[in-house]
Structure 1
Amino acid sequence: NGTQALFETEQAADLTLLRRIADGLRRKMAFFQSKAGRRVSSTVRVLINLPHGPAWDKTVRVWERATAIVADEHGGHLSFKIVALPLQEFLQAPDWEEPPDPARWESLFDPAQTTVFGLARSGTRTQTAVRKPARRMVSKLPAPLRRRSARNDRLILAAFWQVFQEQAPILGGDHSRPDPAFFDVMRIIYTASNDPHADILTQAALPHASLYLLRKYLQMHPRLRDALSKAVTRGSGSMRWSVSTIFHRMQAVIATFLKYHGWRADGPLLAYPVLTGWGEEGTQTFSVVARIRNPELLMGEDDEVVPGRDEVRQAEEALAWVLWALFAYSDDLGLKHPVFW
C-alpha cells in the first residue's frame, strides 16, 4: 500500500551476538521514537537465513532475550514490532503487506520475558522510568577472602529478604499480590455462554458470548495476548509432539496467563492440563483442570465470609474453561493456533 518498511537479513545467532543485537535494537528504538520513524511501518521484518528447526529456535531465543533487555530499559515496552521469517520462505512467497501476515511471521519479542510483565493492581504504582544498565560490580578482595560460610549466606539472604519486603515496589517489576477479583472476571466471561438458567438451545450453542468477552479482554491486554501467542508457538517447527510435550506446552501457556495476573499454577491455586480418559463420558481431547485448594483465595480485602464449596466450584469451572479456550478457540480469540490442536 506504499508504506515504507524496514527489512533486515540475518544469519544464525547465539549468545555471543547478544550485545550486537541489543545495540541494534537500541538504535531502532531511537529511530522509531524520532520524527523520521513516524513515516515508516512500525513493524521491522527480519529475514533469517535459516529454515525452521533447532538452529532457528536457538536464534529466535537470542533475539527474544535481546528484545526483552532493551524493552526493560524502556519500561517493558518497545516502540516498534519485530517479526521474523526464514529468508527462503520469503523469497518463495514474498509478503509485502502492511501489516505482515501474522500466520507466517514469528514475533521476536516475548513480553513474558520482561521484568515488568504482569497486570498491575489498581492503586499500585508501576515502574515506567527508563532503566540504566546495571554496572558490573568488581570485587577487589582476594579470592580466599571472598569465600563465605553457609551461616554467612543465611545472614546475607535474610538481609536481602528484609530489603525485598521493604522495597519490592521499586526493585523493578510488579511484585504485588494477585487480586481475587481475577476470579470475578473469569466468571463473567464463562457465565456469558454457560448460564445454567438459560434455555436449552442457548446452552447447546457455540459459546459466542464468552468468546466475544474473552477476545475483548485479550484486546484490552495486548501484552498478554502477544505473550500467549509466543508461548504456544515457541519451537514448534522442530518439536516432536507427544502427549508429554503437548502437556508441557499447555502448562507453559497456562503459566503465562496466570503469571500475567500475579498467580502461579502450582500453589493454593492449581491449574494443569489433562487428557480425557477413554472410559469417561465427554469429548476425547485435552482439557484443563483448575483447583482452588483454599477458598480464602476468593476473598477480597473487605470480605468477611469464607466462600462455600459451590462458589469455589464455579470459580474453578470458569477459570478452567477460559484456560481451555485459549487452545480450543485460539483462532476466534486472535491468538496463534497451536499446531498440536
Structure 2
Amino acid sequence: IDPRPIAHARATLDVRLAALAAGLSVETERELPYTAPDGNDGVLRPDNLITLPDGTRALFETEQAADLTLLRRIVEGVRRKAAFFQSEAARALSPAVRVLINLPRGPVWGKTVRVWERATAIVAEEQGGDLPFRLLAMPLLEFLDRPDWFEPPEEARWEPLFDPAQTSTFEPPVPSLQGKPLARRKARLPRSLRRRAPADDRRILLAYWQHLLEQGPDLAYTADRPRPDPAFFEVVGVIYAASHGPDAPVAQQAAYPYASVYLLRKYLQMHPRLRQALSKGMVRGGGSMRWNVTTILHRMQVVIETFLRYHGYRVGRAVEAVPVSPWDRTDGPRDFGVAVRIHPEVLIGEEDGVVPGREEVRAAEEALAWVLWALFAHAEEVGLRRPPFW
C-alpha cells in the first residue's frame, strides 16, 4: 500500500486544524473554477484555502518528497496554477502560494526543492520567462510549530521554489528588435551527415566560425540576451559614490553607508527578477550545507556570477570578480570580501572609443567590489535574504 496518500491527507488536515486553532476560516479541497487565457475552463482544487487575519485568502498546498519521476506531475500542477492566476478568479487571492513540504531541511529537502525549481523553470519558459504567482516552501513541521499567517509571508522563513536564473531569459528587459528574427528554426541534418569523421567536423565548425565572424552580433545578442553595456559600471559607480565619495570628509567616510545601501536597495527593486535570483542563490541548500571556507567562497562566487550574468557579463580575464577569504585580505574588515579586476577596454562605451586611464579603472573596480560585497554584508537591508553563512 502506498503510504503517500495517507500522509498527504494527514498533513492537509494538520494545516486545517492549525488554521482553525488560530480562529481563521479554512476551506479544504475547495474547487475554484476559472477560465484560462486560452478560453478553456478549468478547476483548481487547493489543499487548503485559508482566509488570513487581514482578510486575504491564500492557497496552502501540502507536499512530500519529490524526485524526477514526479517532475511531470509537478509541472502540470504549476501549469494549472499559472493559468489560474492569469484569470479573473485569482484577483481576490494572495499571489503567494504556500507549499508546506512534509520533510525536514536536509539532503532530501534540497533534492525536492531542486525538482520543483526545474518544474517552475519549465512553466516559466512557457510563460515568457516568469510566473504570474509566487511559490514559497517551508517544512511542514516548522510551519506547524510557528504558523505564518501574514500577508505577504515572512520572507526569511520561506524558500522560493522558482529560480529565474534557471530560465533562458534571465537578462534585463530590453525593447524587442523590429524587423529581425530573434531565433531561427533548427534544420534537421540529412541522415548521411549525422555521423561524421573528425575532419568533417573541423570543416563544418570552420564554416560556422566564418558565419559567426560575418553575422556576429546578430547571432550573439537578441532581445532576450542583450549585449553587455559599459553603462552598467556607471550604475554601480553611482551607488558606491553615494557614501564613498573620494573627497568626502573623514567623518563621512567613517559613517555607515546609508546612501549606498539605499540606492542598491532601490536598484534591486527596479529589477525584481534579479533580486529573486540573488535571494535564491543566497539560501540554496542552507539547511543541509556544512559551511566552511571552501563552500562559502563557492556560494559567493555563484551569487556574484548570477549578478554579472544578468547584466551580460561573465567572470573571466576581462572581468575578474572573485570572493576573498578573511585570511587573504590585507586591508579592510577581516571578513569575506570581493576582489575585482577589470580590463580597461571593458569600460569603453560605443560612443566613447577612448581607453580609460588607470584611475578610472580603479574606481570602477572599487565600486563593483563594494556592490558585490554589499549583496552579502547588507543582504536584508537591500531586500535580499540573509545568507546563512554570513
Q: TM-score, normalised by structure 1?
A: 0.89
Answering whether residue 371 of structure 2 is matched by residue 318 of structure 1, we say no
Question: Residue 175 of structure 1: SS of its match in structure 2?
Answer: coil
Q: Which residue of 1 aligns with 2:119?
A: 66
TM-superposed CA distance for 1:20, in Å, is: 1.2
Structure 1, gaps ≥5 residues long? none
* Partner Cα distance (2:345, 2:248) in 1: 30
* Partner Cα distance (2:163, 2:295) in 1: 21
* Partner Cα distance (1:248, 1:318) in 2: 22
Residues 18/139 of structure 1: CA separation in 2 closer, same or farther (3 Å cut): farther
Work out which of the residue numbers 185, 193, 196 in structure 2 matches 1:148.
196
CA contact (8 A) 2:171 2:226 kept: no
Once the two structures are superposed, what CA deviation does each residue of 1:267-307 show, in whole Å capped at 9, x if it has no partner?
Answer: 30100011233793432111000101x21111101113210
TM-superposed CA distance for 1:138, in Å, is: 10
* Partner Cα distance (1:304, 1:248) in 2: 36
Answering whether residue 374 of structure 2 is matched by residue 329 of structure 1, we say no
TM-superposed CA distance for 1:239, in Å, is: 0.5
TM-superposed CA distance for 1:155, in Å, is: 4.2
TM-superposed CA distance for 1:314, in Å, is: 0.2
Answering whether residue 137 of structure 2 is matched by residue 84 of structure 1, we say yes
Residues 308/57 of structure 1: CA separation in 2 closer, same or farther (3 Å cut): same
Answering whether residue 323 of structure 2 is matched by residue 258 of structure 1, we say no
Residues 196/139 of structure 1: CA separation in 2 closer, same or farther (3 Å cut): closer
CA contact (8 A) 1:49 1:87 kept: yes
Q: Which residue of 2 aligns with 1:273?
A: 323
TM-superposed CA distance for 1:103, in Å, is: 0.9
TM-superposed CA distance for 1:15, in Å, is: 1.2
Answering whether residue 60 of structure 2 is matched by residue 7 of structure 1, we say yes
Question: Residue 352 of structure 2: SS of its match in structure 1?
Answer: coil
Question: Residue 39 of structure 1: SS of its match in structure 2?
Answer: coil
Q: TM-score, normalised by structure 2?
A: 0.78
* Partner Cα distance (2:167, 2:205) in 1: 24
Percent identical: 61
TM-superposed CA distance for 1:326, in Å, is: 0.5
Q: Which residue of 1 aligns with 2:95?
A: 42
Work out which of the residue numbers 246, 249, 253 in structure 1 matches 2:299.
249
Residues 188/63 of structure 1: CA separation in 2 closer, same or farther (3 Å cut): same
CA contact (8 A) 1:42 1:81 kept: yes
Size of the alignment, in residue pairs?
328
The amino acid that maps onto 2:304 is: I
Residues 62/125 of structure 1: CA separation in 2 closer, same or farther (3 Å cut): farther
Once the two structures are superposed, what CA deviation does each residue of 1:288-331 show, in whole Å capped at 9, x if it has no partner?
Answer: 00101x21111101113210000000000000000000011111
Question: Residue 260 of structure 2: SS of its match in structure 1?
Answer: helix
* Partner Cα distance (1:37, 1:221) in 2: 25
Q: Which residue of 2 aligns with 1:26?
A: 79
Bigger CA radius of gyration: 2
CA contact (8 A) 1:183 1:315 kept: yes
Q: Which residue of 1 aligns with 2:260?
A: 210
CA contact (8 A) 2:329 2:337 kept: no
After superposition, residues 189-200 of structure 1 pair within 5 angstroms as 189-200=239-250
Residues 316/169 of structure 1: CA separation in 2 closer, same or farther (3 Å cut): closer
* Partner Cα distance (2:345, 2:227) in 1: 14
Question: Residue 289 of structure 1: SS of its match in structure 2?
Answer: strand
Answering whether residue 348 of structure 2 is matched by residue 295 of structure 1, we say no
Residues 94/276 of structure 1: CA separation in 2 closer, same or farther (3 Å cut): closer
Structure 2, gaps ≥5 residues long? 1-53
The amino acid that maps onto 2:262 is: Y
Question: Residue 386 of structure 2: SS of its match in structure 1?
Answer: coil
CA contact (8 A) 1:5 1:44 kept: yes
- 154-163 or 66-75, larger mean C-alpha shift: 154-163
Residues 8/140 of structure 1: CA separation in 2 closer, same or farther (3 Å cut): farther
Question: What do you get for the CA RMSD once the two structures are aligned?
Answer: 2.5
Once the two structures are superposed, what CA deviation does each residue of 1:225-267 show, in whole Å capped at 9, x if it has no partner?
Answer: 0100000100111111111000000000100100100000123
Work out which of the residue numbers 265, 277, 285 in structure 1 matches 2:335.
285
TM-superposed CA distance for 1:167, in Å, is: 4.4
Residues 200/5 of structure 1: CA separation in 2 closer, same or farther (3 Å cut): same
TM-superposed CA distance for 1:148, in Å, is: 2.5
CA contact (8 A) 1:290 1:319 kept: yes
Q: Which residue of 1 aligns with 2:32?
A: none
TM-superposed CA distance for 1:147, in Å, is: 2.8
Larger RCO, structures 1/2 (Cα 8 Å, 6+ apart): 1
Question: Residue 85 of structure 1: SS of its match in structure 2?
Answer: strand
* Partner Cα distance (1:160, 1:40) in 2: 51
TM-superposed CA distance for 1:125, in Å, is: 3.8
Residues 335/138 of structure 1: CA separation in 2 closer, same or farther (3 Å cut): same
